[in-house]
Structure 1
Amino acid sequence: MNVTDRRAVRTAARTLVAPAALAVLAITVPQAAAHTELDTASPGAGATLAGLPPRVTLSFSDAMAQKYSKLAVTGPDGAPAAEGGPQVEGRTVSIPLDTSSPAGRYTVGYRVVSADGHPVSGSYTFTVKEADSPSPSPRAAESADVPARQPESEQAGGESSDAGGTMLLAAGVLAVAVAAAGRFVSRRRRAGRGH
């Protein structure tokens, strides 16, 4: 390889590969920072309550889309405990409950899509005690405002699909840059032989 070919390779690398790498970074960094999360839930995960509250309210880190917000509360007998559908107000999704539902363990399940299109899903439980049960411990009462955690399997699934798409895009951009650099070098070689 002569000096002209080496210069051509370096020039191609500077003009094609570096901008391609910067483009990949520009695409992947905002996606990594854009994940929507459940901030708070009322009642919270693991809470023990004296009675069923009038509604379940979930607050997220981003605004939600009404059209794609699903929220369900299932009672201890497996029957729905909600009265009506979910209501969205900005970052908050809530659903009214039938306060005459029996005591026991309730399951809250949600699948929502933020305004930027990112889906978030998960579930948690809370307990409504019998009317003649002793009052809950202070620790259980404190947990009423603890945010519900999204199941790790669902978090990993959403993040891996985002990462997979990003990696596929990065590989495509890199392949195009390498092909362009190779074409540039071969043209330079042909031009050098023609002289």
Structure 2
Amino acid sequence: MNAFPRRAARVAARGIAVPTAVLAILAVAAPQAVAHTELDVSSPGAEATPAGLPPRVTLTFSDEMTQKYAKVAVTGPDGKSATDGEPDVQGKTVTLALETGSPAGRYTVGYRVVSADGHPVSGSYTFTVKATGGPSPSPRAEQPAGTPSSPAARAAQAGTADEESSGTTAFALVGGGALALFVAAVGAYVARRRRAGHGD
């Protein structure tokens, strides 16, 4: 009579032990899965093509970050760093200023940060900066046709005008002198003819 209750008790104990062990394993594994830190949002985003290099890179993670262990690097198409200063951490967001005068091309963002709970996360991605066109001249800045565009041009034009004026004056003087000589010669010829006529 006592053998059956004992056997039933052992079976029941085993049935309770197995689910308890499974629950214990899940309880240990669940916090590790929840604590996994990830990059949620980035700006510029991966494979983005902004027109001109933005003033900063912004990375937003799923957990709060620590300033001490935040490392972010941005490398330009020339292989040089395009960053300006150190990363700034505000809660879940890490911001890094960039050198806006950097050239167009493909940029690589690399990061390694540690959350406030001590969980590290690292990764990288790329984006491509498109070249921006130069500013078009405003209508006010345009020079009217025939107007010198620089002081040197205006001086050269003034010098040319002076030379032309001097040449015109010299030509007028030479021409006037020749005319006076011609008139004098004609007058002398007429006078001689008259005297010759009276002598006859």
- Alignment correspondent of 1:165: none
Structure 2 Cα separation of the partners of residues 5 and 80 of structure 1: 75
Within 5 Å, give how 1:11-50 maps onto structure 2: 11-14=12-15, 16-50=17-51
**What TM-score does the superposition give when structure 1 sets the normalisation length?**
0.60
Deviations 1:114-173 (A, max 9, x none): 22222222111111122239xxxxxxxxxxxxxxxxxxxxxxxxxxxxxxxxxxxxxxxx
What is the deviation of 1:29?
2.1
What is the deviation of 1:79?
0.8
Greater radius of gyration (CA): 2
Equivalent AA in structure 2 for residue 93 of structure 1: V
Deviations 1:39-62 (A, max 9, x none): 111111111122111110011111
Within 5 Å, give how 1:161-172 maps onto structure 2: none
- Alignment correspondent of 1:125: 126
Structure 2 Cα separation of the partners of residues 53 and 9 of structure 1: 70
Q: Verify: 1:63 aligned to 2:61, yes or no.
A: no
Structure 1 Cα separation of the partners of residues 8 and 93 of structure 2: 58
What is the deviation of 1:5?
6.5
- Alignment correspondent of 2:96: 95
Q: Verify: 1:79 aligned to 2:80, yes or no.
A: yes
Within 5 Å, give how 1:112-151 maps onto structure 2: 112-132=113-133
Structure 2 Cα separation of the partners of residues 71 and 121 of structure 1: 9
SS of the counterpart of 2:28?
helix
- Structure with more relative contact order (C-alpha pairs < 8 Å, separation 6 or more): 1
- Alignment correspondent of 1:176: none
Structure 2 Cα separation of the partners of residues 16 and 131 of structure 1: 69
- Alignment correspondent of 1:52: 53
Give the number of aligned pairs: 132
What is the deviation of 1:76?
0.5
Q: Verify: 1:106 aligned to 2:114, yes or no.
A: no
Structure 1 Cα separation of the partners of residues 132 and 15 of structure 2: 74
Q: Please, what is the CA RMSD of the aligned residues?
A: 2.1
Structure 2 Cα separation of the partners of residues 41 and 123 of structure 1: 11
